[in-house]
Amino acid sequence: MMWFSKSLRVTPGLVRSAIGISLISILFLCGVHGSCRGQEAPSVASEVADFQKLEPALKFLRGRNARTYAITGPNGIDEATYVKIGGIEQWITIRGLDRNNPVLLFLHGGPGDATNPWGYAAFRSWLKYFTLVQWDQRGAGRTFGRNRASASTITPDQMVQDGIELSELLKKRLHKNKILLVGHSWGSVLGFFMVKARPDLFYAFVGTGQVAAEFSRSSAVAYTALLQRASRQVNLQAVQELKQIGAPPYKDGKGFGVLHKWAMLSERADVFLASALGFALTAPGYSVGDINDWFDGQSVSGEHLEPFFDELDRKLLGGELNVPVFVIQGAEDYTTPVSLAKTYLDSLRAPHKAFATIEGAGHFAVFTNQGEFLKDLRAQVLPFMH
């Protein structure tokens, strides 16, 4: 999600604290300690001790999830490994019920917000129709954990080349002529430049949570849409808080925090984010250290890629991609507004274009409404994959 602005100098840490979605904090304050009562913050030592008490339950749940989400069919594929990409070892998973199915490479958002820690559950229904590849990009998840030093030199061009190299590897390894590319939020930007550089590798490109404008414009459109929504629903608290901060830009993180608080609540993203953490903590083969790498990677990736965001976003408009392009957007997306995503697609030159919305869904529609998203993929995109 493009939540960082050069003019604001907003850091990922500020974002997390301003929006109030620090999932680790939610876990400790509302889960480990039983409720969110007003009380003194526990000491670090007591937090660690309390968390250690959860380990037997987490171990049990990891084992149960390993059995529940196992792929056991004779023609299935379930691989999880590091591969050498861009000179470093990067983590990928490859899962599907039939290895004859087309290959779908999913590009996570953030940047740095790897889906592998919880995507084993989120994408379960897709495995009947696709061989799904999830990649912890440079600076994300387990790739970050194994290559912390390299994250300090990360650039968008390097990540594009990583993605191209991975796509070539997947074609060869899985014996496919081309693959389908799906990018969420930051992944919709990364995917655009991958396809632009090497259209021969891909059947089509699907963007969701589609980034379509520089931060300042996106925030302004989101503010107007959120205020209109709050007024329609007679949400007096939202109206009051939004009017108090006024329209962006903001001089500090306070206005930004209020804006994204109401974006998250309006999209019901708070529930999704909490469930994602739950699945990550109980992911088969994962440890608390892996979860820490997941969070640390988001901070480091955002810090080093943030200076490039506005320039990259401007390059999306009026571009040209030589493959079919689809945008499937949550109709209630106030993080990357629907109107801007539609403008982006209208401005794009491509051999085929289609735009779809999922009613009642927000920025995370691909995860919260997997069934409807999959239905659109099968109806609109699969016919182009031959």
Specify if 364 maps to a domain. Answer: yes
Specify if 17 maps to a domain. Answer: no
Burial (CB count <10 Å: 0-12, 13-18, 19+), residue 353: middle
In a shared domain, residues 312 and 380: yes
CA 45 centroid distance within chain:
32
What pLDDT band is residue 152 in, cutting at 50, 70 and 90? confident
pLDDT for position 386: 78
What pLDDT band is residue 325 in, cutting at 50, 70 and 90? very high
pTM for this structure? Answer: 0.88
Percent over 70 (pLDDT), the chain: 89
What pLDDT band is residue 41 in, cutting at 50, 70 and 90? low
pLDDT for position 40: 59
Of 13, 43, 68, the residue that ends a domain is 68
In a shared domain, residues 33 and 112: no
- Is the separation of the CB atoms in 365 and 185 below 8 Å? no
CA gap 33, 74 in Å, rounded: 45
- DSSP helix/strand/coil, 358: strand
Residue 266 has pLDDT above 90, yes or no: yes
In a shared domain, residues 119 and 61: no
Mean residue pLDDT of the chain comes to: 88
Residue 169 has pLDDT above 90, yes or no: yes
pLDDT for position 37: 45
What mean pLDDT comes out for the span 254-278? Answer: 93
In a shared domain, residues 203 and 341: yes
CA gap 222, 227 in Å, rounded: 9
In a shared domain, residues 134 and 195: yes
Specify if 48 maps to a domain. Answer: yes
- Tell me the pairing of strands 77-85 and 88-96: antiparallel
In a shared domain, residues 288 and 180: yes
Percent over 90 (pLDDT), the chain: 77
In a shared domain, residues 160 and 208: yes
What mean pLDDT comes out for the span 239-259? Answer: 93
CA gap 351, 322 in Å, rounded: 6
pLDDT for position 314: 86
CA gap 273, 109 in Å, rounded: 13
pLDDT for position 32: 36
Residue 60 has pLDDT above 80, yes or no: yes
- Is the separation of the CB atoms in 340 and 218 below 8 Å? yes
pLDDT for position 39: 52
In a shared domain, residues 41 and 121: no
Angle of helix 215-232 relative to helix 253-267, nearest 10 degrees, comes to 60
Least confident of 9-18, 182-191, 280-289: 9-18
In a shared domain, residues 81 and 192: yes
CA gap 57, 312 in Å, rounded: 44
What mean pLDDT comes out for the span 335-364? Answer: 96
Of 11, 46, 68, the residue that ends a domain is 68
In a shared domain, residues 328 and 308: yes
Residue 26 has pLDDT above 90, yes or no: no
Tell me the pLDDT tens digit for each residue of 119-131: 999 999 999 999 9
What pLDDT band is residue 106 in, cutting at 50, 70 and 90? very high
Helix (H) or strand (E) holding 182: strand 179-184
CA gap 136, 121 in Å, rounded: 16
pLDDT for position 48: 74
Of 68, 94, 127, the residue that ends a domain is 68
pLDDT for position 264: 93
Question: What is the domain range of residue 39?
Answer: 26-68
CA 201 centroid distance within chain:
22
What pLDDT band is residue 14 in, cutting at 50, 70 and 90? very low
What mean pLDDT comes out for the span 50-71? Answer: 91
Residue 203 has pLDDT above 50, yes or no: yes
Q: What is the CATH number of the domain that holds 189?
A: 3.40.50.1820
- Is the separation of the CB atoms in 179 and 198 below 8 Å? no
pLDDT for position 139: 97
What mean pLDDT comes out for the span 309-315? Answer: 88
- Is the separation of the CB atoms in 10 and 253 below 8 Å? yes
Specify if 5 maps to a domain. Answer: no
Specify if 9 maps to a domain. Answer: no
Specify if 203 maps to a domain. Answer: yes
In total, the chain counts a number of residues equal to 386
In a shared domain, residues 285 and 171: yes
Specify if 127 maps to a domain. Answer: yes
Specify if 369 maps to a domain. Answer: yes
Return the closest-CA partner of residue 272 out of 220, 182, 209: 209
Strand runs labelled E in 197-352: 202-208, 325-330
What mean pLDDT comes out for the span 220-236? Answer: 96
- Is the separation of the CB atoms in 162 and 135 below 8 Å? no
pLDDT for position 121: 96
In a shared domain, residues 63 and 194: no
Residue 376 has pLDDT above 50, yes or no: yes
Residue 44 has pLDDT above 90, yes or no: no
* Number of domains within the chain: 2
Q: Across the chain, which distance is largest between two alpha carbons, in Å?
A: 61
